[in-house]
Amino acid sequence: MNKALLVIIVILLLGGGAFFLLRQGPRQNITSSNDDQNETLNINNFSIPKKAAHYESNTPEHGAILAGAPVFVVINFNFDLAAPSEIIVYSSGVKNPKTGTTSPIDITSGKTTIDANKLSMRRAIIPDAPDDFYTVDYKACWADGSCHDGQFQFKIDRTQAANFVDMTGQDEVTINLRNFAFNPAKIRVSKATKVTWVNQDNVVHTVNTDSHPAHSYYPDQNSRNLSKGDTYSVTFSQPGIYPYHCTPHANTMKGQILVE
Ligand SMILES: [Cu+2]
């Protein structure tokens, strides 16, 4: 009786051991591939943004995952900017963690410019900027000649376009401002489409380009106060992503136009 029990225990132990050994092989592979992913993710993780003195906001915002290239990188301050303020954008997601090699791509077009009110600076981005992880380094300078550095990051991931209502191929489309929301909030349109917003609520809404309250990203997309029945239209001629909001309800009432 005891012998039989011993045999059973030995069989169970051997079986368990064999099972454990069989599992070890593939497990090691999974672990090492996880490590690879983590290494890549670490490079692609958003770090804490560095804010220069007098910094107020930026578009795209830090941590944004965009369905298309931003039209501009715009940074807003509460103090008058001066030369040689500069914005630099570079890709870092293409860095290979094993080899350490990078393939930096310049997605900017033209030089950094300071807006007329001197409170914002911007740099244009090419519409076909590839899907990648981007870091923005900027230097904000003041009339006394002093400068401060800042940094933030965003991602372009065109798979995000799947979350947008497809309204491409139309000359004109309508977005309703209803129940304190843009409806639909995220749309895809073709280049040169006229987008019209219609307020259907009994309260005043607005259409304002990000960031809030600078409204500087794409100034052509800033409406007057819209009462019930009022409309506002913008024709988008350049491909890219256009994040916007309603000023009285800036925290909750947001939208995005993806122009393709
Ligand atoms: Cu509103």
β pairing state of 108-114 and 64-66: unpaired
Percent of the chain topping pLDDT 90: 74
> Does the pLDDT value for residue 224 go beyond 90?
yes
Q: What angle do CA 115, 92, 49 make, to 5 degrees?
A: 55
Contact between 121 and 114 under an 8 Å Cβ cutoff? The reply is yes
Helix (H, G, I), strand (E, B) or coil at 214: coil
**122-136: average pLDDT:** 94
> In this structure, is the dihedral angle defined by the CA atoms of residues 175, 176, 182 and 183, taken in order, positive or negative?
negative
Q: Is 141 annotated in some ligand binding site? A: no
Domain range list for the chain:
55-160, 164-259
Q: Which amino acid is at 50?
A: K
Ligand 1: centre distance to CA 177 (Å):
8
Per-residue pLDDT, 93: 53
Q: What angle do CA 36, 40, 42 make, to 5 degrees?
A: 115
β pairing state of 108-114 and 120-125: antiparallel
Percent of the chain topping pLDDT 70: 78
Beta pairing partners, 233: 196
Contact between 77 and 66 under an 8 Å Cβ cutoff? The reply is no
The class level of CATH for 55-160 reads mainly beta
- Residue among 52, 48, 45 nearest 138 (CA): 52
Q: Is 1 annotated in some ligand binding site? A: no
Ligand 1: centre distance to CA 43 (Å):
38
**1-18: average pLDDT:** 50
Ligand 1: centre distance to CA 251 (Å):
10
CATH of domain 164-259: 2.60.40.420
The per-residue pLDDT for range 173-208, each reduced to its tens digit, is: 999 999 999 999 999 999 999 999 999 999 999 999
The per-residue pLDDT for range 69-107, each reduced to its tens digit, is: 999 999 999 999 999 999 999 886 555 556 565 656 789
**4-27: average pLDDT:** 45
In 78-222, which ranges are continuous DSSP H helix?
none
Ligand 1: centre distance to CA 231 (Å):
14
Per-residue pLDDT, 221: 98
Residue that the structure tokens 């914002």 belong to: 120
Q: In this structure, what token pair is assigned to residue 145?
A: 């000649």
- Residue among 84, 65, 62 nearest 147 (CA): 84
Residue that the structure tokens 């715009």 belong to: 74
